[in-house]
Chains A and B, each alone.
Chain A
Amino acid sequence: EPEVTQTPSHQVTQMGQEVILRCVPISNHLYFYWYRQILGQKVEFLVSFYNNEISEKSEIFDDQFSVERPDGSNFTLKIRSTKLEDSAMYFCASTLGGNTIYFGEGSWLTVV
């Protein structure tokens, strides 16, 4: 069964450093997303991406965050200058559009 894959599975970074989280969405999907989940809390929407541009973003997705689809398969989330409160599990997801959404296994980010 096709799946969304994410790398790295876990990353520890120092505060102020830049982090790039990578995702390979399901190949025929058109919409791509990043969500995050702070430990013990609910999953929160960050951003959606369609047709090579951001289609929606939440209040969490401020100027420190950016997304990119550098080629036909990868979808990345960049955090420019990490803060302690950025520590969370980051999930990539994809859909064909408005229906069943498939999540990757997540990337644990720990900012120290």
Chain B
Amino acid sequence: GIQVEQSPPDLILQEGANSTLRCNFSDSVNNLQWFHQNPWGQLINLFYIPSGTKQNGRLSATTVATERYSLLYISSSQTTDSGVYFCAGYYGGSQGNLIFGKGTKLSVKP
């Protein structure tokens, strides 16, 4: 079936700690993207990462498409990193039907 699974579902960190979020996706899902939903509900695109590795400041992401997983790394976490992190991929040949995972809820404590 069509699946995007994320782990862990919840994560509590002390400010300054590092973390790795994982996303497993099924064969019918491709062109992975990572999003951060802040406490006000806004969805911010962090990475479009169908394969390979990208870095943006303290965040980086790696997708190994052949093994159907993607990882989001957060280094030196800050309280502003709190929120829900979603991975999502396009279904099949779709141009917009993004299938979202259930998200990882991250809380960074000062």
Main secondary structure of the interface of A (DSSP, over half): strand
Q: How far is the CA of A31 from the CA of B48 in the complex (A)?
A: 16
Contact B41 A101 (CB under 8 A): no
**Contact digits for B55-70, partner A, Cβ 8 Å, 1 yes 0 no:** 0000000000000000
How many A residues touch B, CB cutoff 8 Å?
Answer: 28
Q: Please give, as numbers and ranges, the residues of chain B lying within 8 Å of A99 by CB-CB distance.
A: 31, 48
Main secondary structure of the interface of B (DSSP, over half): strand
Residue from the list B31, B45, B88, B94 in contact with A102, Cβ < 8 A? B45
Min CB distance B64 to A, Å, is 19
Q: Would you call B86 an interface residue if the criterion is a C-beta within 8 Å of the partner chain's C-beta atoms?
A: yes
Bound-state Cα–Cα, A98 to B101, Å: 18
Q: Is A58 an interface residue (CB 8 A)?
A: yes
Q: Which of A35, A41, A106 is in CB contact (< 8 Å) with B98?
A: A35
Taken residue by residue from 80 to 110, chain B's Cβ proximity to chain A (1 for < 8 Å, 0 otherwise) reads as 0000001010100011111111110000000
Is A42 a contact of B94 with CB atoms below 8 Å? no
User: Could you tell me which A residues sit within 8 Å of B by CB distance?
Assistant: 31, 33, 35, 37, 41-45, 48, 50, 55-56, 58, 89, 91, 93, 95, 97-103, 105-106, 108
Residues of B within 8 A of A (CB): 31, 33, 35, 40-45, 48, 86, 88, 90, 94-103
